[in-house]
């Protein structure tokens, strides 16, 4: 069987061995329900609250403002739906402000708020790199705005938005500001106070943690209507017995990511830039998408003229390389990416997209091998 190399770390990451070892006791001996009064429950609750403290530390918020969820998607849903409905009830605001380059967890939730709940959905423009200009936020935001939500680091093209600058505008207007940081949290130091954020979504499986767990950080509480009701878990915002093994694993993964960012990013940026230079130099009519510098350190994304992106993925997979054409939630879609067309890329070019995301185990030799495989595959497809 041909040796395979993984280049789709934006879709998911393997669980770090240290994270796995941290989780294991809570699948067996420490199996208690944190809502129980007896010693098993007390130990489970202690583990839960320790995890909450760890995550709060790296978000620069208080532990009671960390709400554990089933992942980034649920966190986004709670932030958007919960905040928009609360703000309309509290102050009569009925507009939601997002961009066309959001993850579907944001865009589809916003569409539902418009279609089913009567909110007005407004879109911020992005430039050719997929980046929001804070001045456009200033133009569109108003007292009618219930919520602003802008992606931190784009999952398809890697561009990082000026979140702190936008946050100042929202703070001055006293309007909740949320960011989907699912891709960014593994690579950028998180600080909700520095970034003037009201809410922040994170998912563990993008940072070498387990799937099925995430969190919503709340810096300044402006009120949320819970998306899931039942018991009083997670401060009455997310009912249901907490998944202690996964929460413990997430806190460890987040801690490792945030404390090792400097060393990890230095290596990732070198490899990323090597890949970008190799592809652009060796393949005619190839173009980098996203910002050339202000982008996630592990993220390279391209479009190739006269190439079908899905066929390119098949060619690469047959040679042992796992890549993506964009969001893992859209794999197999024959339509051009809405993110790319919103950046002004023509549909016929956007169809030839490729996303390569590298990880902490990626090597220089693997980058060289992938570059040659992309070159040969594009040449064959163009024939």
| Among candidate residues 227, 259, 291, the one where a domain is terminated | 259
Pair 230, 318 in one domain: no
Q: How many CB atoms lie within 10 A of CB 89?
A: 12
Low-confidence winner among 19-28, 156-165, 320-329, 350-359 (lowest mean pLDDT) = 320-329
| Closest listed residue to residue 155, CA positions, set 136, 179, 123 | 179
CATH number at residue 100: 3.40.640.10
Pair 108, 225 in one domain: yes
In this prediction, residues 259-271 reach a mean pLDDT of 96
Question: Which 8-state DSSP code applies to residue 179?
Answer: E
Confidence of residue 100 (pLDDT cuts 50, 70, 90): very high
The pLDDT value recorded for residue 200 is: 98
Q: How many domains does the chain have?
A: 2
In this prediction, residues 270-281 reach a mean pLDDT of 98
Question: What is the pLDDT of the chain when averaged over all its residues?
Answer: 95
Pair 254, 271 in one domain: no
In this prediction, residues 287-298 reach a mean pLDDT of 98
- Residue positions annotated with a catalytic role: 329
Pair 247, 273 in one domain: no
The first and second tokens of residue 16, run together, are 């770090």
Distance CA 194, CA 211 (A): 28
Pair 316, 361 in one domain: yes
Residues 6+ apart with CB under 8 A from 363: 271
23 or 328, which is more confident:
23
In this prediction, residues 75-96 reach a mean pLDDT of 97
Q: How many CB atoms lie within 10 A of CB 53?
A: 13
Pair 24, 158 in one domain: yes
In this prediction, residues 189-207 reach a mean pLDDT of 98
Contact 83, 178 (CB under 8 A): yes
> Over 80: is that where the pLDDT of 53 sits?
yes
Q: How many CB atoms lie within 10 A of CB 24?
A: 14
Cα 371 to its chain centre, rounded Å, is 26
Pair 173, 51 in one domain: yes
Pair 197, 308 in one domain: no
Pair 42, 181 in one domain: yes
In this prediction, residues 173-178 reach a mean pLDDT of 97
Please, which contacts does 21-25 make with residues 24 or more away whose CB atoms are closer than 8 Å?
A: 22/248, 22/249, 22/252, 23/210, 23/245, 23/246, 23/248, 23/249, 23/252, 24/245
SS3 content of the chain, % helix, strand, coil (to 5): 45, 15, 40
Low-confidence winner among 145-159, 203-217, 220-234 (lowest mean pLDDT) = 220-234
Pair 192, 270 in one domain: no
Q: Which residues of 338-366 are buried (b: 16+ CB within 10 A; e: fewer)?
A: bbbebbebeeebbbbbbbbbbbbebeeeb
Distance CA 323, CA 267 (A): 20
The pLDDT value recorded for residue 331 is: 53
Pair 235, 270 in one domain: no
The pLDDT value recorded for residue 332 is: 54
The pLDDT value recorded for residue 1 is: 46
Low-confidence winner among 70-84, 135-149, 237-251, 322-336 (lowest mean pLDDT) = 322-336
| Among candidate residues 193, 224, 259, the one where a domain is terminated | 259
| Among candidate residues 259, 280, 298, the one where a domain is terminated | 259
Pair 290, 319 in one domain: yes
The pTM of the full predicted model, rounded to 2 decimals, is 0.95
Distance CA 289, CA 109 (A): 26
Confidence of residue 269 (pLDDT cuts 50, 70, 90): very high
Low-confidence winner among 134-148, 327-341, 351-365 (lowest mean pLDDT) = 327-341
Contact 170, 140 (CB under 8 A): no
Which domain does 187 fall in, by range?
17-259
Give 244-257 pLDDT, tens digit per residue. Answer: 999 999 999 999 99
Contact 233, 243 (CB under 8 A): no
Considering the chain, what percentage of its residues have pLDDT values greater than 90? 95
The pLDDT value recorded for residue 325 is: 87
């Amino acid at each position: 069987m041909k040796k395979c190399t993984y280049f789709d770390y934006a879709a998911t990451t393997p669980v770090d061995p240290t994270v796995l070892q941290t989780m294991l006791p809570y699948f067996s001996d420490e199996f208690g329900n944190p809502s129980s009064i007896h010693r098993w429950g007390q130990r489970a609750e202690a583990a839960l609250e320790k995890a909450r403290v760890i995550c709060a530390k790296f978000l620069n918020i208080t532990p009671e403002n960390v709400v554990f969820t089933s992942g980034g998607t649920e966190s986004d849903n709670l932030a958007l739906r919960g905040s928009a409905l609360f703000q309309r009830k509290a102050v009569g605001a009925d507009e939601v402000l997002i961009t066309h380059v959001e993850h579907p967890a944001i865009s589809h939730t916003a569409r539902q708020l418009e279609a089913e709940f009567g909110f007005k959905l407004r879109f911020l423009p992005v430039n050719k790199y997929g980046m929001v200009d804070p001045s456009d936020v200033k133009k569109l935001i108003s007292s009618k705005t219930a919520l602003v939500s802008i992606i931190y680091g784009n999952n398809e093209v890697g561009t990082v938005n000026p979140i702190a600058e936008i946050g100042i505008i929202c703070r001055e207007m006293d309007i909740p500001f949320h960011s989907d940081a699912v891709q960014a949290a593994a690579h950028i130091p998180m600080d909700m106070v520095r970034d003037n954020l009201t809410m922040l979504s994170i998912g563990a499986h993008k940072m070498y943690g387990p799937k099925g767990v995430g969190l919503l950080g709340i810096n300044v509480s402006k009120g949320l209507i819970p998306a899931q009701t039942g018991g009083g878990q997670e401060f009455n915002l997310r009912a249901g017995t907490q998944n202690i093994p996964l929460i413990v694993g997430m806190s460890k993964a987040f801690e490792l990511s945030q404390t090792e960012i400097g060393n990890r990013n230095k290596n990732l940026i070198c490899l990323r830039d090597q890949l970008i230079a190799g592809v652009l130099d060796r393949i005619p009519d190839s173009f980098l998408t996203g910002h050339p510098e202000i982008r996630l350190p592990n993220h390279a994304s391209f479009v190739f003229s006269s190439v079908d992106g899905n066929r390119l993925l098949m060619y690469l997979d047959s040679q042992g390389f796992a890549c993506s054409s964009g969001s893992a939630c859209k794999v197999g879609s024959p339509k051009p990416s809405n993110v790319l067309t919103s950046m002004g890329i023509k549909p016929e070019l956007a169809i030839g997209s490729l996303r390569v995301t590298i990880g902490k185990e990626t090597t220089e030799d693997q980058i060289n091998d992938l570059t040659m495989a992309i070159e040969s595959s594009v040449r064959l497809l163009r024939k």
